[in-house]
């Protein structure tokens, strides 16, 4: 569900409904961005007026959102036999406004579909004077949908692999029927938020010039994702061509699912907003019968893998018990997260800073409310503490 701060921001940038065709989707930009930079997590919320962290970018055109994460390193002078690494990854929550000429209120759920493309760019530049013995630059960029390696050994050598857009996995969002509002032109509209797959990678610089004096090695890498909403529809709460189940402590929360084929090809990235009883759905339209590896990631929980033998008749009865405490979304539970929950005990949703980022912790108090009951208590700490040091699947 979108909080009031996000709703307020999105409403300031809407395209007038009269300028749009019926059943349109309009990209509104990013609402939440999370960047992990060499272990440091930076989370920005657009509704606070925050700009994107350095190295992240987002642009929108019509129903399309294009986002990227970039990192770079440099070595100079006599720093030979030295390695510099930068691990950068991140993801975005992308907001959309949907317009329908049909009233989609009532029972059932809303399914939003999108096409995705991704690109990988790796660059290495090596400069040296004739007195240098040798130099090497290397970029490794790894993200969910692929890997690119580039090596650039030798003197005065430059090498580049251009980022080429490739077709990505199907993107889908499904949740309990959201709030619809009637526009001046008679159409209905609602706001939804899609979560991107993780992107980014590792940039590494090597300087191997024991006799050199002026070698410069620079390297950079970038992972990009393009999401274009193509359709949305009302669907029954239960249907064929789905994987259905329940997950405790996920009431009205988004679950991010990545569905891989038996050959470990990412076939589907989807977000489901769980019902009040923790029920979730994974729409498997267009996917063949077979064995799938499914990764599920909840808010404040570690990613969990489960394998299913799926048929188009549908599969139900899956139960996922998550391990909790990953409030910054990096798929591990750290001491800083446990300390943050401890420090926030006693805060409630009535506090004016409930959804404001703490300058000390760079997180919002609401992030520590693992059980989502509107208060941070010893129960939230008890959910996280046993998982300290654990890493998700």
The domains spanning 238-322 and 330-393 adopt the same CATH topology: no
3-state secondary structure of 30: strand
pLDDT tens digits, 25-72: 999 999 888 888 877 778 888 877 789 988 899 999 999 999 988 887
The domain made up of 238-322 has a fold known as Immunoglobulin-like (2.60.40)
C-alpha closest to that of 263 among 244, 290, 284: 290
* Lowest-confidence segment of 159-168, 238-247, 302-311, 361-370 by average pLDDT: 159-168
* Lowest-confidence segment of 211-220, 223-232, 351-360 by average pLDDT: 211-220
Query: pLDDT exceeding 90 applies to what percent of the chain?
Result: 17
* Lowest-confidence segment of 167-181, 209-223, 343-357, 359-373 by average pLDDT: 209-223
Cβ pair 227, 194 in contact under 8 A:
yes
| φ, ψ at 380 (rounded to 5°) | -60, -45
C-alpha closest to that of 197 among 331, 9, 372, 370: 331
Q: H helices of the chain, where?
A: 4-11, 335-344, 378-384
User: Which comes out higher in pLDDT, residue 189 or 142?
Assistant: 189
Q: What is the mean pLDDT of residues 146-173?
A: 44
CATH number of 330-393: 1.10.1330
pLDDT class of 80 with cuts at 50, 70, 90? low
Domain extent listing, the chain: 238-322, 330-393
- The pTM (predicted TM-score) of the whole model is 0.65
**With the C-alpha atoms ordered 238, 240, 242, 247, is the resulting torsion angle positive or negative?**
positive
State the chain's mean pLDDT as an integer. Answer: 75
Residue 55, C-beta contacts closer than 8 angstroms, at least 6 positions apart? 35, 37, 69, 70, 71, 88, 90
Tell me the pairing of strands 166-167 and 158-161: unpaired
pLDDT class of 213 with cuts at 50, 70, 90? low
Q: What is the mean pLDDT of residues 375-382?
A: 93
């Amino acid at each position: 569900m979108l909080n009031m701060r996000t709703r307020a921001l999105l409403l300031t940038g809407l395209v007038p409904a009269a300028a749009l065709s019926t059943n349109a989707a309009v990209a509104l930009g990013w609402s939440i961005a999370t960047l992990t930079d060499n272990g440091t997590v930076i989370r920005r919320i657009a509704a606070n007026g925050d700009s994107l962290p350095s190295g992240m970018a987002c642009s929108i055109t019509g129903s399309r959102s294009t986002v990227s994460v970039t990192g770079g390193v440099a070595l100079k002078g006599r720093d030979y036999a030295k390695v510099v690494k930068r691990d950068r990854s991140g993801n975005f929550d992308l907001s959309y406004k949907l317009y329908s000429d049909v009233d989609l209120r009532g029972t059932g759920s809303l399914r939003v579909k999108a096409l995705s493309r991704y690109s990988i760019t790796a660059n290495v530049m090596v400069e040296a004077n004739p007195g240098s013995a040798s130099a090497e630059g290397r970029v490794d960029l790894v993200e969910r949908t692929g890997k690119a390696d580039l090596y650039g050994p030798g003197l005065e050598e430059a090498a580049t692999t251009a980022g080429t857009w490739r077709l990505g996995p199907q993107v889908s969002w499904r949740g309990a029927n959201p709030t619809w509002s009637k526009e001046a032109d008679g159409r209905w509209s609602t706001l939804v938020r899609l979560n991107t797959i993780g992107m980014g990678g590792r940039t590494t610089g090597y300087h191997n010039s024991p006799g050199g004096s002026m070698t410069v090695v620079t390297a950079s890498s970038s992972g990009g994702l393009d999401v274009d909403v193509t359709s949305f529809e009302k669907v029954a709460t239960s249907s064929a061509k789905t994987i259905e189940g329940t997950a405790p402590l996920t009431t009205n929360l988004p679950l991010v699912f990545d569905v891989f084929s038996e050959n470990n090809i990412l076939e589907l990235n989807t977000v489901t907003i769980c019902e009040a009883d923790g029920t979730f759905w994974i729409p498997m339209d267009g996917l063949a019968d077979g064995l799938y590896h499914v990764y599920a990631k909840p808010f404040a929980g570690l990613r969990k893998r489960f394998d299913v033998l799926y048929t188009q008749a549908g599969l139900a009865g899956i139960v996922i018990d998550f391990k909790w405490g990953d409030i910054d979304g990096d798929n591990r539970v750290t001491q800083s997260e446990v300390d943050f929950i401890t420090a926030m005990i006693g805060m409630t949703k009535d506090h004016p800073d409930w959804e404001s980022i703490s300058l000390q912790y760079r997180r919002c108090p609401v992030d520590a409310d693992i059980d989502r009951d509107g208060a941070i208590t010893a129960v939230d700490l008890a959910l996280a503490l046993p998982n300290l040091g654990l890493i998700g699947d």
